[in-house]
Amino acid sequence: MNTNNTSNNLQLIADTAKDFAEKNIRPNIMTWDESQTFPVELFHQLGEMGFMGIVIPEKYGGSGLGYQEYVTILDEISQVDPSIGLSVAAHNSLCTNHIYEFGNEEQRNRWLPKLASGQIIGAWGLTEHNTGSDSGGMSTTAVKDGDEWIINGAKNFITHAISGDVAVVMTRTGEKGTRNNSTAFVLEKGMPGFSSGKKENKLGMRASETAELIFDNVRVPDSHRLGEVGEGFKQAMKILDGGRISIAALSLGIARGAYKAALKYSKERHQFGKAINEFQAVNFMLADMATEIDAAELLIRRAADMKDRKEKMTKEGAMAKLYASEACVRIANNAVQIFGGYGYTKDFPVEKFYRDAKLCTIGEGTSEIQRLVIGREISK
């Protein structure tokens, strides 16, 4: 009975997300992509739908849903436009979730209702110009000065760096290279010295804004510190565990979107007197795509289930992210191949899925880092 209720709820949520995406996102996909427009108003609408605080409890203005529902929403949105899915993921799983997981009650009540409702947009800053995977070696510093901290440095490749209203930022408060050298703070746009830098001109995910965050003697009250001094890096790693489910779900949406487009086209496109999906070479590609999508979803659903149960899922999250992201690149590549020359044009959707897919093997921990995480976990 519970299983049926869960399935029915997930289907209802999937239908709601799909309808929203078809109505509000699909008509604008290529306009936003080609102009690199980040559609801020759309995210206010997503907030009204309850999609900007999906796993945040209702008492803080969130939807109070679990990670299974979260995966479903991201999957449906990303089948239509992965760049919007990416921004929904970053807002939910990184900024908003970090404040929920590690903020005190005052901090939760201050920022979560506005974030969860989409009134304000969140950013999350860990990566720097010279520290990608080596996030423990960050250069951005926070120095205590009375009841305030003075933050200096910059963050790179930050989603919503320009349009975001608040940002959770990891800073170095100890020696480089140690695991207890980092502290997290919530910064608000408008703080003197806190600004945005260059917007990146990207291969894909172009409607999801990516830019620098710059800190020039930014004075931040100690009341904006999340958790204890020195715990920022540990917090970030726990947040990335859940963030891997996000990127895996985003990858699933890309894979499914590309597969559906390729399957439909293969039935409509005729060569040598028959539909091209009747040729074994094409049919086998579609078979592999369908199998990889199911395998990816099973890995993701397992990780989401463990996350909902509050079980440690570092290995399972990394496996889901690794497999789903690499599968979505393969599937998008094959989708372009099935479309042939048309797949290389912007008149058909697979060209964009192909460009968007690659980020999934890089963002929130590269495939190589996922293998490192998995290898470390299985060797314990």
Instruction: Give the catalytic positions in this structure.
Output: 364
State the alpha helices, DSSP H only, in 269-313.
280-308
CA atoms in the 13 A half-sphere facing the CB of 166: 26
Cα–Cα distance for residue pair 344/352, rounded to 1 Å: 9
Q: Is 14 left (phi over 0), alpha (psi -120 to 50) or beta?
A: alpha
Q: Does the CA dihedral 360-362-365-371 come out positive or negative? A: positive
Q: What are 279's strand-pairing partners? A: none
CA atoms in the 13 A half-sphere facing the CB of 40: 10
Contact between 88 and 77 under an 8 Å Cβ cutoff? The reply is: yes
Cα–Cα distance for residue pair 247/71, rounded to 1 Å: 10
Cα–Cα distance for residue pair 50/17, rounded to 1 Å: 10
State the alpha helices, DSSP H only, in the chain.
2-24, 29-35, 40-48, 67-80, 82-89, 97-102, 105-116, 232-268, 280-308, 314-339, 350-357, 367-378
CA atoms in the 13 A half-sphere facing the CB of 151: 33
Cα–Cα distance for residue pair 358/204, rounded to 1 Å: 8
